[in-house]
Each structure stands twice: as structure tokens, then as C-alpha cells.
Chains A and B, each alone.
Chain A
Amino acid sequence: MEIIVCVKQVPGTSQVEVDPVTGVLKRDGVDSKLNPYDLFALELAYSLCEKYGGRVRTLSMGPPQAKAALLETLYMGADSAVLLSDRKFAGADVAATSYTLKCGIEQMGEYDLILCGKQTTDGDTAQVGPEMAEMLGIEHAANVCEILEVTDKEITVCLNLDDKLQFQRMQLPCLLSVEKDINTPRLPSYKRMCKVNADGERVAVLTFEELSGAELARCGLKGSPTQVERIFPPEKNADKQMLHGSSAQLSDALGALLKERKFI
């Protein structure tokens, strides 16, 4: 099985703040990590390859430092990795991200399966997988919670449709977005790290020019149909009422409120 896993490097904490005066993101010194949701996709890929043979390659689009996230996937067991990195890719929304990744996948050659995480912790849209599948012209399933059967032409999966579980057989190649907690992701192995470092890290970094067939008009900020007009801190509740006093007074005030609003 030839599997490509799409992974993203995300900020290490979600404590990102906006400066209320300038409206600019305060991002100083925030460290980065591999998107935690992608770990489940990676684990699925490794275990499928252990069972059916083949190869796991990983793909990311991001700034040069995103290479660290890809190295981590090599230490866990990926064969090689591709990083799409160019200033021309910057500022991409879902459509431009999916397009760029699609071009990367086409350049990586034959594949049976593309795996994505359920969502990212920074973009938080869960949309990149399905958009990429559409652009590649292959079937996809989101919220995949179990792999039931794999043959060389088809894969049978179970997906979570909120109130239902649906079982479906899909032609390969196809794309799956994987639910969290469907497995226990492995940790990067020290032994593999030493081996990867000794053999030479197999991370190819591709720029826009090296991505054959990519159209500039569909990449990065310019290629993004959605535009962020402004960012602002969430509003605070203006008409709040603070109640102080003894516990008896407070419980009486609350009781009266609940009565008045017909909750009791």
C-alpha cells in the first residue's frame, strides 16, 4: 500500500492573543508541534503498512521550520517526506492550501490512500481533506472511525455520521479523514531517529517553481477566495450583573431569578 499522510505543524499552545489596540496577533515565542489530530492518521498509516506492506510518505505545506514536524514523522516510521515551502504559498485559505497539497500529491506519483487528520488545532476547519479529494477527483470519507477490510482495489470503512455509523466500500485510490482516538499513536523512536540521521533525512523541500503544473493564481493569499478582513478579540458581556453578599442573600437572589424566569 502506498500511503500519503498530510500533516501540519501548528502552534504549540492555543493561548494566542490579539493585541486589542493594533489588532495584530501576538505570536512571539510560541513554539510549534505536529497537529495532534494528525497523529491518528499517521498511526493508521503505519499500522496498515505493517499489515499489508508498502510505504508511508508524509506531506506538508508550511514555512521552512515545518520540516521539524516532518522529521518527527520519519522518526515514527515514515519512509520519506515532502515539504512544500515557498513565500508564494503563504496566506493560503482552505481552497489554496488544498490546491497546493493536491499539486504536491500529483508530483509524488502513484498512491493508494491519502490520510488526513480530522482537523487542525489552528485552522480548525476539517475541510482541507475533502477539498483536496475533490481536486484530485477521488472519493473521500470524513470521520472514519474504523477500517474493516482492505484489498488491492478497495477499502471498507466505518464512518461516524453523528447519529449513525455508516459502512461503505470505496475504490482506491481514495482519501480518508480520520477521527481522533481511533488508535493509540506511537511515539517517535530513538532508534529510528539515529537511523534517519545516519542515513540522511529524506525530506524533500519543494518551492513553487519546483512544483510542476501549479498555477500561481491558485496558491497562497492571491489564490484564496476567502479574505480575512479583520481579526478582533471576542467581545465581553457588557450587561452583566455582579452579585455580592452573604451566601444566604446570594442563594435568595438566585432563587428569585429562577422563579421569575419560570425555571422553578
Chain B
Amino acid sequence: MALKINQSLVNKENASQLIAVCPFNAIEEQDGIMSIGAGCRLCKLCVNKGPKGVITWEDEKKQELDKSEWVGIAVFVERRNETVHPVTLELIGKARELTEVTGHPVYAIAIGCGMDDIARELLHYGVDKVFVYDDAALDMFSISPYTSAFYDFIQRVKPSSVLVGATNIGRSLAPRVAARCKTGLTADCTMLKMRENTDLVQIRPAFGGNIMAQIVTSNARPQFCTVRYKVFAALRRSEQAQGEIVCMNVTAKMLKSGTEVLDAVKKPAEIDISEAEVIVAVGRGLKSANDMNMIQELAELLGARIAGTRPMIEAGWLDPKRQIGLSGRTVKPRLIIAIGISGAVQFTAGMKGADCIVAINSDENASIFEVAHYGLVGDLYEIVPLLIAGIKEGKYVL
């Protein structure tokens, strides 16, 4: 079901009638060619109130989607502190891997101001083309102009899949663009696979991580998904730059907005466990706040950040920013040592992606052992002090 424009009937007179009839300013006419833009809400006033026959409503006959018209995987480029947010590189790495199945190109779409350095840097990470919308008015994130630029890219380039980082900006922008494209969007995917027919298989936790759902968008394009930071791994930066940068036209119409950005201030530096390479995580197995000293000592010896389960935050022993899990942070360190943690799904949802998981727990049936690579069944109050002493003595040698 869609609006159909019968171009042969279009003339100056009925065009201006139609433009006046549309309450959303979605109808345009140029050189005798009429078009209906994204502003269209399918209110059908043009069909019912406009000059007869010029725009008609074509019922039912669902058009078969021609998937071959949609080619490539596009990654939205997010800026952070004047450089590229690492989640962007992770998504480019994943896109590269996915295109091995289809042979499609990998695109990046960069919206902002002064994006040259960022665009050039991306060429070291495996993109084929970087499409840049660069304008002073795009310097700060503003939903309408960013959506319009993104939508312009989709219409011109027609990518098959679009990957967006599940940051606060990504989670605001991706649904807006997906809705404008009248397509589906899967949030917070943790696994992505590509089928030969270009269908993107999107797997995400549902119901608080108790269940995994496998989702496809097989009758619509592009296929949108968001992915959290640290879920996938970035490719190593290559010495050689490869691919090209394409400058896109930013029009005044794109910049139209009902929002005026007044100011943006940096948030004070935060404890950020999501960046940590090594984490020592503690749970209710710890008996008193004093025992944090022992944990602090171990963390220092390992160059690790301290994190914990929700009860530790509730007890006030740890800053809320150090909470791992569903209602806390997602971490993906090279090593995490979980000490006195039972392994509730709400906790493990935030750390399962770690390269190496070590768990120390006195209860051999604790569910943390189901996600751990190395499970130590024993008393933390004995193991941890012995380990600290051993490291200090230089006891462990290869």
C-alpha cells in the first residue's frame, strides 16, 4: 500500500494545489517531476482532497522486496573527544567480517563538523568508503539535522544493513532514522551473522538476559541494529590507508530543526570501568567494608580496576559507577577475577564478554562457574591473601 504519483498528469497548476493541500509540506515539484518526501505521514489528503488522479492510493499488492538493490553494510561514525568513538571501530571490524559472506562493501557515515581527520583515520580500519556530511551546523548533535543527513545517505547509497553504536546518541538517532525508513531496528545485539541472501541475523538478550532472541528483518531494508560498546573487537590499525572519502552535500533543508542547541559541557571525568583491561570484581562473599583493603592491594598489583555486584553498591562499599551488570556497566576486559560473586544473570550479562574469566567462590554450585573459564572452589579469605603474598615475593615464574 503506497501513494503513487502519476507523473504524466502533473502540471504547474495541480502541483501547486497538491503542495498547498499537504499539511506536512511533503510534496515537491521540480521541472514537472513531483516527489513525496519523508515528511509524508500517509494522511492521504492529497488523494482525497487534491486534484483527482494525480496522486493515487495503490492498495494491497505488496511489492516483493528486491534485496539486490540494497548493497553494503554501513556503520555510523560517532565522535568522542574529537576522535572516533571506539565502538565505531568495533562495528567496522564486525562489518568487515560479515561482508565476507556477501562480498559487499563496508561504508562509514560520518556526520559532524571538521570530520577530515576522523574520516582519514577510518581508512586504516577496513572501510571501503567514508561518506561525510560536514557542516558547522552539524558540530553538535541535534536530532533533526542528523536524522535528515543519515536518511539522505540511506536514500542515495541504499545499504543493506546499518550498524549503530548503542551509545546515548546512537540509541536516539537509530530509531528515528529507522522509523523514517519504515524499517525494523534491533537494539543491543550481542551476536550478528550474515546470510548469503543478505539477511542479517541479529541475536540479543531479552527479558533481562534470561533468554536470547534471534531476530531478522527479512522483508524490509535497510536492516538496522544497535550494538553496545565492547561487544565486538576492532581490527588492528593497518599502516596503509585504503578506501575513499566521499563528501556529501549538506542542504539547508537538512539543517531545518525545531531544536536549538545552546551549549554542551564535558561531564567531570568519571570512574570508567567499561574501559578497563583488567578488573577485580567483588560480591557479597566479602564480609566487611574493611576487606576492601585486601582487594585494593590485589587490584594494584594487577593494575586492575575494582568493580562489583549490585549489593556492594547498595551497601555503599563501592561507587555506583563500578557496578557491573544489567543495571550497571558492560565490561569486556582481557581478564576479570570474580571474587565472592554468585553469578546472577543480571551480573553476568555485563561481563560475559571478557576474554578470561576467573571465579573464586566457596560454593561449587555457584552459577558464576558456568561462565568462568577458570573456577577456583575455595575460600577467598585464604586464596586472595596467599596470592597477594606470592605476587609480592615474585613466587610465580614461568
* Chain A interface residues toward B at CB < 8 A: 11, 14-18, 25, 93-95, 98, 121-122, 124-131, 133-135, 137-143, 156, 159-171, 174, 177, 213, 215, 217, 224-234, 236-237, 239-248, 250-261, 263-264
Contact = CB atoms under 8 A, between A and B. Distances in A.
Contacts of B142: 168
Contacts of B175: 94, 125, 127-131, 134
A18 B179 CA distance: 31
A69 to B, nearest CB: 18
Contact of A139 (B43, B259, B390): B259
A189 to B, nearest CB: 28
Contacts of B167: 162
Contact of B206 (A131, A217, A231, A243): A231
B147 A134 contact: yes
Contact of B260 (A131, A169, A244, A259): A169
B67 interface: no
Given A247-B386, A261-B356, A256 B211 contact: no
B21 interface: no
Interface in B340-398: 345-346, 352, 356-358, 360, 364, 369-379, 382-384, 386-387, 390-391, 395-398
Contacts of B206: 122, 124, 231
B246 interface: no
Top 8 A-B residue pairs of the complex, sorted by shortest distance between their CB atoms? A225-B184, A14-B208, A247-B382, A226-B184, A251-B386, A171-B258, A125-B187, A255-B396
Given A17-B211, A95-B178, A227-B216, 13 more contacts: A131-B179, A140-B172, A142-B172, A159-B168, A170-B258, A171-B258, A171-B259, A226-B202, A231-B211, A233-B212, A234-B211, A252-B396, A263-B302
Contact of B168 (A14, A134, A160, A217): A160
Interface stretch (B117-125, B263-271, B287-295): B263-271
Contacts of B356: 261
A232 B211 contact: yes
Contacts of A128: 175
B102 interface: no
Contacts of A129: 175
A105 to B, nearest CB: 13
A138 B169 CA distance: 18
Given A166-B261, A168-B262, A256-B396, A127 B376 contact: no
30 contacts: A25-B211, A94-B187, A95-B183, A95-B185, A122-B206, A127-B175, A134-B180, A138-B258, A139-B143, A141-B143, A168-B261, A169-B262, A217-B1, A225-B184, A226-B215, A226-B217, A229-B216, A231-B211, A234-B209, A241-B375, A242-B377, A243-B375, A244-B378, A247-B383, A250-B360, A250-B383, A252-B396, A258-B302, A259-B397, A261-B356
A251 B373 CA distance: 16
Contact of B208 (A124, A229, A236): A124
A239 B208 contact: no
Contact of A225 (B173, B183, B266): B183
A95 B184 contact: yes
A11 B143 contact: no
A243 B211 contact: no
Contacts of B179: 95, 98, 130-131, 134-135
Interface string B119-157: 000000000000000000000111110010000000000
Nearest to B386: A251
A253 B172 contact: no
A170 to B, nearest CB: 5
Given A255-B387, A264-B391, A130 B168 contact: no
Contacts of B357: 237
A91 B188 CA distance: 19
